[in-house]
Structure 1
Amino acid sequence: MDRLSAMALLVKVTELGSMSAAARALNMPLTTVSRHIGELENALGVRLLARTTRKLTLTDAGVDYVAAARRILEEVENAERQATGEYQEPKGELVISAPTMFGRQHVLPVIAEFIARYPQIHVRLLLSDRNADLVGDHIDLAVRIGDLADSSMVATRLGRMRIVACAHPALLAKYGEPQRPRDLAALPIIRIESPMPYRGWRFRAAEREDQLINLPPALSVTTPESAADAARLGVGVARLLHYQALDGLRQGELRLLLERVEPEPAPVHLLYTARDLAPLKLRKFIDFAAPALRQALLRIAGAA
């Protein structure tokens, strides 16, 4: 294996946390991955990975080498894009990640107009409610709803999205409409399961920190769409992003609750890897999509 390929393999191993995960991702035998990493270490005369029975970690030399390898691989990728003309004309593959429902309703129409204008760009739209790893998943740009944690990325602000509680009018007629967050304890609750630990529903509190209300669910689901559907069927109260509740609100099947104490709206951004020279296809998409998505957010904010 040549040195660049070995660098890329080592970076993949560190991104995924194990040789077996890298082997699966690259469709390579585990023994081959292990052999190539060993050959790289022998060529350098230094141990890059500390192997234990439970996990794989980088040595001090490995940390420095992987950081340098990332820079070198990025320079090679930039050179290849330069050679193929991606910096002179918008063309090639553009990989975009977006939340499932928001992506289907609002990002996909923008992409449809974009590829009609730039037919030499092939877009892959990855719809998932999981926050994807842009580097590890080879994603050029992500639509992200919520607070940003990774400062190594570049973010373009689009707007904000309300976080709402809602329920079917018939359910409220049966149980009564809650006047304070703690009143929700008397109503059945729909919870959306996620990889993040559940800490409760957040509500704004006057002159003090936001309060968290921990509510046991009558129904747990794995997608916001399912939670919205269940709320529209009268199963219970759901906590959703505003756009996820919009169809039910328009049809009179959902009513907003506790609007005066809603938490701060979630920020919405376009997120992409910080690079000195972004491909023209990415710059063109950002310039095209940002105004359109800002208008979409304004329409949602002004809706029922």
Structure 2
Amino acid sequence: MKIKQKNLYHLLMVFREVVKQGSFTAAAETLELTKSAISQYITRLEQHLGVQLLIRSTRALSLTSVGYKLLERSDELKTLLDITIDEINNIKQQPTGSLSITVPQALAQPIVLPALKRFNKQFPQVEPKLIVDDGNLDIIKQGIDIAVRVGDLQDSELKASKIGEHQEILVASTSYLSSLEKAVTLDNIKEQPFIATSWQTTNLTHYFKDNKGAEYEVFLKPKFEVNSANIALDLVSLGLGIALLPDVFVKQHINEGKIQAVLGQLTGKKHNIYYVHAYKEKVPLKVKWLIEFLKEAMTNQ
């Protein structure tokens, strides 16, 4: 079934609302339509795309894999449209004032700085304030507009959304590895001086996977303990040992040949990266745009 382009967006938003509400009935109430109309819209969309988007049962709705992908793109489409409309509405009132953002050290340079560069070019009247801190600062009490967080998020009333992920990898300097009499292996890695960040000292056992999915348990006892990912990388560069750091943080140094991945076929845990803010309804345009630039910077990694 061929759907006119102007009607396709409407069907996508109906689909998005059905998933958001969890049922045709709830979506119909929200959109002020009949349940049968909602059902017809979803059927038309599925026929137009030639795929099933929703798995219907008497108890609940669930998404197919294609449905998940379409939901993700529908969210992006709505966000971009909302931003565009806001931009048009505010074309005579470009964002001004301060914009505060907090980010862990390991993500400041690879993610936030490129985003701020793009942001500053488009909105030169805004004055960004960057707080690089590995702690979970109270963004409400400290008046922070947006935070970049890593790992599992605590339940809260804050608005959060995933923008990407990073993976831990073991690294050492090229000079350090070449100075060893024996290559580093799973059997002897515990003999290597481990440069631990403060959040790695409470758990000395780390888990890695190879490219076939097999899992390995590695015990790493800290030789050095630092509270900064930057300092950990500096110690690695000085040839003082190995460290377990985010791939996005060390990517450039690996590309430049300054450091290398240790046990190259093994990778550590994956951690989700989120943006978090406290705005309930009207999110400032400058915050929306920064979020888009953060997503773009993450995609470019």
TM-score grouping bracket, smaller chain normalisation: 0.5 to 0.7
Q: Aligned partners of 1:116 and 1:145: how far apart in 2?
A: 27
| Partner SS for 1:172 | helix
Which residues in structure 2 correspond to 1:40-55 (within 5 Å)? none
The match for 2:254 is 249
Matched AA of 2:300: A
The match for 2:185 is 179
1:108 aligns with 2:113: yes
The match for 1:266 is 271
Q: Aligned partners of 2:191 and 2:291: how far apart in 1?
A: 46
The answer for unaligned runs of 5 or more in structure 1 is 1-84, 298-304
Deviations 1:233-265 (A, max 9, x none): 221111111133234322323221234442332
Matched AA of 2:236: A
Matched AA of 1:177: A
Deviations 1:125-168 (A, max 9, x none): 11222222211221110122323223422223221112010112
- Tell me by how many angstroms 1:200 deviates: 1.7
Matched AA of 2:168: I
| Partner SS for 1:286 | helix
Go from structure 1 to structure 2 and tell me whether the alpha carbon gap of 1:118 and 1:168 turns closer, same or farther (over 3 Å shift). closer
The match for 1:131 is 136
Q: Aligned partners of 1:256 and 1:225: how far apart in 2?
A: 17
The match for 1:163 is 168
Contact 1:175 1:186 in 2 (8 A): no
Q: Aligned partners of 2:258 and 2:285: how far apart in 1?
A: 45
| Partner SS for 2:202 | coil
Q: Aligned partners of 2:300 and 2:134: how far apart in 1?
A: 19
- Tell me by how many angstroms 1:101 deviates: 4.6
Go from structure 1 to structure 2 and tell me whether the alpha carbon gap of 1:118 and 1:161 turns closer, same or farther (over 3 Å shift). same
Contact 1:152 1:274 in 2 (8 A): no
Deviations 1:143-200 (A, max 9, x none): 22323223422223221112010112443341533332x5321212112224x76112
Q: Aligned partners of 2:219 and 2:125: how far apart in 1?
A: 50
Q: How many residues are treated as equivalent by the alignment?
A: 208
Deviations 1:79-98 (A, max 9, x none): xxxxxx9xx76333221111
Q: Aligned partners of 1:242 and 1:110: how far apart in 2?
A: 18
Contact 1:92 1:281 in 2 (8 A): no
| Partner SS for 1:199 | coil
Go from structure 1 to structure 2 and tell me whether the alpha carbon gap of 1:282 and 1:186 turns closer, same or farther (over 3 Å shift). same
Deviations 1:10-59 (A, max 9, x none): xxxxxxxxxxxxxxxxxxxxxxxxxxxxxxxxxxxxxxxxxxxxxxxxxx
Q: Choose the corresponding residue for 1:91, options 96, 102, 113.
A: 96
Q: Aligned partners of 1:273 and 1:230: how far apart in 2?
A: 37
Q: TM-score scaled to structure 2, two decimals?
A: 0.59
Go from structure 1 to structure 2 and tell me whether the alpha carbon gap of 1:176 and 1:243 turns closer, same or farther (over 3 Å shift). farther
Q: TM-score scaled to structure 1, two decimals?
A: 0.59
What is the alpha-carbon root mean square deviation over aligned residues?
Answer: 3.0
Contact 1:166 1:239 in 2 (8 A): yes
- Tell me by how many angstroms 1:209 deviates: 11
Which residues in structure 2 correspond to 1:1-304 (within 5 Å)? 90-173=95-178, 174-180=180-186, 183-194=188-199, 198-204=202-208, 213-287=218-292, 289-297=293-301
The answer for unaligned runs of 5 or more in structure 2 is 1-89
Matched AA of 2:121: A
Q: Aligned partners of 2:117 and 2:173: how far apart in 1?
A: 34
Q: Aligned partners of 2:142 and 2:204: how far apart in 1?
A: 30
Q: Aligned partners of 1:202 and 1:163: how far apart in 2?
A: 10
Matched AA of 1:97: T
Go from structure 1 to structure 2 and tell me whether the alpha carbon gap of 1:234 and 1:119 turns closer, same or farther (over 3 Å shift). closer
| Partner SS for 2:254 | helix
Q: Aligned partners of 1:281 and 1:170: how far apart in 2?
A: 45
Go from structure 1 to structure 2 and tell me whether the alpha carbon gap of 1:112 and 1:212 turns closer, same or farther (over 3 Å shift). same
Go from structure 1 to structure 2 and tell me whether the alpha carbon gap of 1:101 and 1:204 turns closer, same or farther (over 3 Å shift). closer
| Partner SS for 1:228 | helix
